[in-house]
Every structure is written in C-alpha cells, then in structure tokens.
Structure 1
Amino acid sequence: MAEFKTEPRHWLLIIALLLALYASYLLIAPYVGALVLAFVLSLLCISLHKRLEAKLPGKPNLAAALSCTALVVVIVLPAGLVFFAIVQQAAQFTKQSYQWLSKGGAEKLLQHPSIINGKEKIEHYLPIDSVNTQDIIQRLTEFASSFGKVLLDMGTKLVGDITGVLFGLFLMLFVLFFLLRDYDKVVDALHWLIPLTRSQENALLTEAKNVGRSAVMGSFLTGIAQGVAGGIAMSIVGMPGLFWGTMMAFASFIPLVGTALIWIPAALYLGLTGEWGWAAFLAGWGVIVVGSIDNFLRPILMQGSSNMNTLLIFLSLIGGIQLFGLIGVIYGPIIFALTAVLLKLYAIEFKGFLEQQDKS
C-alpha cells in the first residue's frame, strides 16, 4: 500500500472541502428526499435501463428519457390517482362511521352477549376497573371525528401544495435521467473519490442495491399484493375496499401481526352483527389468500437481498417513517444496512487492534 504523508496544505484543503460540502448540503437540503429517491431508483432500474440502452446504441439521452417516462407511466401516475381515491374513500368511511356511532350503532354492538361475556371475563381475571360502555362509545366518536379532521387536513395540504409535489417529482425525474444516462461515470467517480479499497466500495454499493431491492421488491410489492387481495375481500363483504386494502398494505410491514391487524377485527365485527357467513369468508380469505402472499411471494421477491433480521427491519421501517415520512420505508433499511456494512469493514480493518483490546 502506498504511504500517504499529510502536509499543512492537505489539511487546509480538507477543511475547505468539508465547509464547501456542508454549504452545498444546505443548498439542496429541501430537496434531499427527491435526490435520494432518484439515486435509489437508479440502482433499481439500471439493469432494465442497460437493456434498453443496448437496443438504442449511440442514443443515451433517448434511452434515459424512455426509462424515466416508463417509470412515470407505470408507477407515478397510477400511484397518484390511487392516493386521491384513497383519501376520498377514507373521508366517506369516516363520515359513515361517525353517523353510525351517533345513531347508537356502537352501543347496540356492545350489548351483544359475546361482548358482554368477554367484558365480564376481562374484568374478572385482569386487575382493571369496570369498563364503562359510554366511555368506549365517547372515545370511538372522538377518534372518528379527529380522524376525519386529519384526512381533511391531509387532502387540503396536498391540494394546496400541489406545486411543491410536482416540483419534487420533476426534480427526482430530472436527477434520475442524468444518473441513468451517466451511471458508469458516476460510479467510477465515486470509486475514485471515496478513500476506501475497491472491495470495500463494492461491498457498500452492493448492499445499497440489495437493500433497495429488498425494501421495494420484498416489502412494497408484497404489501401492495396483500393490500389488493385484502381490498377485494373487503369490497365483497360490503366495506370500503380501497381504504381497508391500503390499511392492510401498511399493516403488512408490521412483523408477526401483519394484515391480521385489519381483517381479524373486521371479521369479528361482521360476526357480531349477524353476518357469520361473510365473517367466515373474510377470515378464510385472510388466512389462505392474504397469508399465502406473505409466505410465498415475499421470499421469492427478496431472493439475494440483504439478510437483515426481522427486528432490525421493523426498527428501520418505523424509524424511517418517523424521520422521512412514507419514503422512510426505503431510507430506513438502507441506512441500517450501510451501517452494518461499515461495522463489518471496521471490524476487518481494525481486527488486530480489536483482538488486542479484547485480550487486555
């Protein structure tokens, strides 16, 4: 390995470079989400883009433009339309729920013999005070009212900030165009500038690809498939399919519980209201169809992806959503995975020192 001797001018250059990088970060901080998403999508789309580029020799601009256009047509436009439909259906469901609560639907349901027997057993075996039915109804009414307000605020904010949403989308596609067109140049530049060995750099880049594929293919597509299947069943039994299907898609990210968090209470509600046939249908669909998607589709989509355990994936998902919003389901796992790779590289690079410290 070539020996590198630092001189005062090197430190001056490094300090100036760090200050310049920090100032540059401040300039792009409002748009960092779009930039990171463009980078992740470039890692995921590069294989398909290379195939398209091979069919269009000497036309890199056209190939990159077609790849970005395909992304918009296949993913962005349908996702936007579905989102607006979900907000509309959710608002309608919230209104109906509030009316049902106001007209005594919850009170009638809570007087069901099974509910009363279950309430008595809970009060008998658990050290809790008596559960007041009116308190439950009041809390449900308050939740329905506040949930409706949240949806209204969300829709208003989205419509009011439509310019910002479109600008972020345009920026993401603009950056993605250049990342796809100049992918090899960008990768070579990163290899040259990052002061790591080529094997270490490849390990980081490979892990970013694997986790990005895992987060999108394994989690997103499995969640979407479960949401679609669950939404179909909800529509058949007379519930808002699009809304509850979306809730199932989100619930699929929760380990162990998953979509059962949605369809089990729904099946119980149908049973308690006398719709035992539909309740059995929904429960069977949840176990056989929705459950089978998670058991069979997820392992197929995640072949060759990162081997992060379930706990780390769950923590990275909820932490990513908390920090970055919905896009955090991609950011979180990538941050955790790159941290794990850096820890492995650290353990290899300082193996002798760590062993010496462990023995001392």
Structure 2
Amino acid sequence: MARLVSLIVLTVLIVFLGITFFQVIAPFLLPLFLAGVVALLCQPMFRYFLTRTNDKTHWAAGLTTAAILAIIFVPLATGTVIATAELYTFAQKRLEPAQWKPAYGKFRERFDADEIIDSVYDSFSPPPTDKDQLAEWETRRDRFHEQVETNIRANTKAALNRVAERTMGFAASTFGIVGRIVSGVIGGLMFIIGLFYFLADGPVLLAATRELIPVNQDYQQQLLHRFNKVIRAVVLATFAAALGQGVATAAVLYFFVGHFFLLSIVCTLTAMVPLIGTWLVWAPVAIWLAADGHWGSALFVTAYGTIFIGTLDNIIRTYVLHSDAKLHPLLAFVSVLGGLQAMGLWGIFVGPTVASCLHALIKIFNTELKAFSEEKFANIKAKTASDMTHNTIPPDMAGEEKTPPPATPEQPESKPPKKRPAKRRRKR
C-alpha cells in the first residue's frame, strides 16, 4: 500500500513538472526541432571533421556548426544581393529614354492617355479662339504633356526604388542585421546552440532518453529509423520540388522578361510554400503580357504555370515521399497542408514526420497487442487442457502406480485337532 501511494505521488509530481517544463521550452521547440533535423542530415560532415580532429567531438561539432551556417547564410546572402542588384538594374533599364519612350507611347495608345490629358488640360485652360493665342496655347499643352510624362517617370522610379529598399531591408532583417525582433534572435541562437550540442552529445542524449522510456529497445530503434527516413525524405522532397519548380518557371519566363537568376531565386523560395507557390511570380508576368497586348504569350504562361508547374510539384513531392518514407500520396498531401496550417512553414517538416511516426507507433502497438493476445490465449488453452485431463482420465490409465496394501504379519498354520479313539463298550 505504501509503495502504491508513493507511485501515485511521484506520478502527480512528474505530470505537474512536465507541464511546467513544456511551457518553459515551448517557444524553442521549433528551433530545437530544426536543429535536430539539421544535425541528423549532416552526420556525414560531422564524421568527416571527427576523423580530421582525432575523435575530438566538441571540435568536430564546432567546425560542423560553422560549416553549416556558412552553407546556409553565405549563398542566401549572395543570392539576395545579386537578386537586388538585378532588380535595380532592371528598373534603371526600364527608365532609360530608349526604352521609356516606346513603353510610354504604348501606354498612351492603349489607355488613350492623350485624350485624358487633353481633357484635364482643357478643363483648366480652354482653347482660345484667336489663332495667335491658339499656337501659344498648344505650346503650353505640349509642355503639360511633357510634365505629366516626367511626373509619371519620377513616380515610377520612386516606386521601384522603394521596392529595392524594402528588398534590402528584408534581406537585412533576415540575417539579423537590421529589424530583427528579440524572439527571432533568441530562436536563432537556440538553433545554433542546439545544433552544436546535438552534434557533440547526440549519442549520449539519445541513450539517456532511451533509458527513460519504458519501451522495448527494438521498438525504439524502429522509431528512430523511421524518423530518420522520414526527415530525409521530407527535406529532399521539399527542396527537390522547390528547385524543380523554380528552374522550370524561370526557364520559361526568361524568354519574356529575362533575368534568369533573379527569377530562379524568387520562384524557388515561393515554391517552398505550397499554398503560395510559383504563381506569385508567373501570374503578374501573365497579367503584364496581357496588358501589353501579347495575349498568346499570356495564355501560354498561364497554362504552363497552372498545368505543368502545379503537376510537377505534386509529382516530385509525392514520388519522393512515397519512395523514401513509404507514405501514401493522400496521407503525404494531407499531412503537409495540415502541418502548414497548424504550425506555419515548419509544418511542412513536422506534419509528415508526425504522421509517419504515428503510423510506426500504431504498428508497434498492434504487434504488442497480438503478442499479448496470443500469450493470454495460450495460457488459457493450456489450463483448460490440463483441467480436462485430470477430470476425464482415471489414475490407473494415466500410468500412475497403484499403491500395494499394507503388509500383515504372518500367522502360524493351525493344525487340525487330534481325534480321540472311541472307547469300546464292555460286553456283559
């Protein structure tokens, strides 16, 4: 009884402290999860540095962490700077007189801008009746046209400059240089620290955690193996689908607007989010082509982006998840979208991982339940057979030895009594 009370008290304390501890680490679960995923994916690099440092785990973990950060941030920073420079060059070329004049002329023809400007000018200054004054009025009206064109050009240039500045501001906020909020900085630091310790002390932490879990070691190994396969499959599927969509979209849009590198980066980044996708890039291009009068090109870009690009995403993602993680295509699709809605961008990784691990746990539970049922049924069957044997088979037929009766002491043989001779009667 005392042991039962002790177990109940310990269970209550563990639950209370566990809930409190979860609330403490809840803001850092996603950075730690991402750090664990990256540490799992970068094990070959860690083993390489481990051999180079003579099995010094902390040195190897530090070098691996620095290399991973360089691999992530250096290309991202370089690509952002190059993309911003190309955007600025694109804006400057569009504002040059050689390209601005034809574009502005098409705009005036398309939307009848001359009539609109003339009506606005006439409302403020109606044309005179005198011929001498009419020539001067037409000169002022031409100057007004030039002023309107100059204002439109200046406003367009200012808008493009603001877009470029905001792009640079977004890049700066991404790297924590300008505009980073405190939670983002802390999340980044937690990611770096977690990545280092997962690399350095990963096996020790894993062994300690496995000892605390009251589950068979074989089942734990199955779960770890499943988790490893799913994480690799999800990461590979996400990046492969995003890269394929980005390159395919940029290759077609290059023939209409140019700037292949800029479009590749933007399309790849937008393709990593399933609900956004590359339509955020090709749809404005199609609208611009339609407004410019190229209806055939606009319809081709729309059909290409809707049919081919959307199908390419589903094909690549479904194929990788089905072949590597052994997830059904419907389950993979639902888990990705559900994780995205519940957890944001990280839900792309968390959703399929949770679904696959849950599937593995259900299989383990079914295995244990079948083994328990078979064992219980075998015990019941053996007990029933034993009872039937004792109740139906007699002891002498069952091979049991018959106990002999107790021995009695030998008695002496009784002799028959001697007959006395008959007496003869005397004759008188």
TM-score, normalised by the number of residues in structure 2? 0.55
Q: Does 1:197 align with 2:194?
A: no
Which residue identity lines up with residue 64 of structure 2 in the other structure?
S
Tell me the secondary structure at the aligned position of residue 7 of structure 1. Answer: helix
Q: Which has more radius of gyration? A: 2
Quote the residue 1:40 is aligned against: 37
Task: Decide whether the 8 Å contact of 2:287 with 2:298 is kept in 1.
Answer: yes
**Partners in 2 of 1:253 and 1:311 — Cα distance?**
18
Partner residue in 2 for 1:237: 256
Matched, 1:327 2:324: no
- The answer for the alignment partner of 2:13 in structure 1 is 16
Q: Which has the higher contact order (CA 8 A, sep 6+)?
A: 1
Contact 2:249–2:305 under 8 Å retained in 1: yes
Deviation of 1:172 (Å): 0.5
Deviations 1:211-268 (A, max 9, x none): 111111122233134214423432442178646864565457759x986897589568
1:274-285 superposed matches below 5 A:
274-275=293-294
**Residue 31 of structure 1, aligned match among 6, 21, 28:** 28
Size of the aligned set, in residue pairs, is: 298
Q: 1:177 aligns with which of 181, 196, 199?
A: 196
Matched, 1:188 2:201: no
Letter in 1 for 2:368: E
State whether residues 226 and 248 of structure 1, in contact with CA within 8 Å, keep that contact through their aligned partners in structure 2. Answer: yes
Once the two structures are TM-superposed, the CA of residue 186 in structure 1 deviates from its matched residue by 1.6
SS of the residue corresponding to residue 160 of structure 1 reads: coil
Identify which range, 283-292 or 301-310, moves more after superposition.
283-292
- Whole-Å Cα distance in 1 between the matches of residues 211 and 299 of structure 2? 61
What are the superposed Cα offsets for residues 170-195 of structure 1, whole Å, 9 maximum, x if unpaired?
21011110110112112211221111
For residues 93-108 of structure 1, what are the structure 2 equivalents within 5 Å? Answer: none
SS of equivalent to 1:330: helix
How many angstroms apart in 2 are the aligned matches of 1:23 and 1:285? 52
Deviation at 1:210, TM superposition (A): 1.1
- Cα distance in 2 for partners of 1:87, 1:7 equals 68
Q: Does the aligned pair in 1 maintain the 2:266–2:281 contact within 8 Å?
A: no
List alignment gaps of at least 5 residues for structure 2. Answer: 95-105, 112-162, 377-428
The amino acid across from 1:231 in the alignment is A
CA contact (8 A) 2:318 2:329 kept: no
Among 66, 69, 82, the residue aligned to 1:69: 66
Counterpart CA distance in 1 for 2:15 and 2:78 is 43
2:240 is aligned, of 221, 229, 232, to 221
State the Cα deviation string for residues 19-50 of structure 1 (Å, max 9, x = none). Answer: 22221222112222111111121221223312
Matched to 2:5, the amino acid is P
Contact 1:251 1:261 in 2 (8 A): no
SS in 2 for 1:9: helix
Tell me, yes or no, if the aligned pair for 2:233 and 2:321 is still in contact at 8 Å.
yes
- 1:344 alignment partner, SS class: helix
Measured in 1, the distance between the counterparts of 2:301 and 2:229 equals 35
AA matched with 1:53: L
Q: CA deviation at 1:83?
A: 6.6
What residue in structure 1 maps to residue 329 of structure 2? Answer: 310
CA deviation after TM superposition for structure 1 residue 317, in Å:
1.6
Deviations 1:76-97 (A, max 9, x none): 343466579889999xx9xx9x
Q: CA deviation at 1:203?
A: 1.5
Letter in 1 for 2:15: L
- Whole-angstrom CA distance in 2 between matches of 1:322 and 1:224: 23
Contact 1:313 1:333 in 2 (8 A): yes
Alignment of 1:133-212 (within 5 A): 160-212=179-231
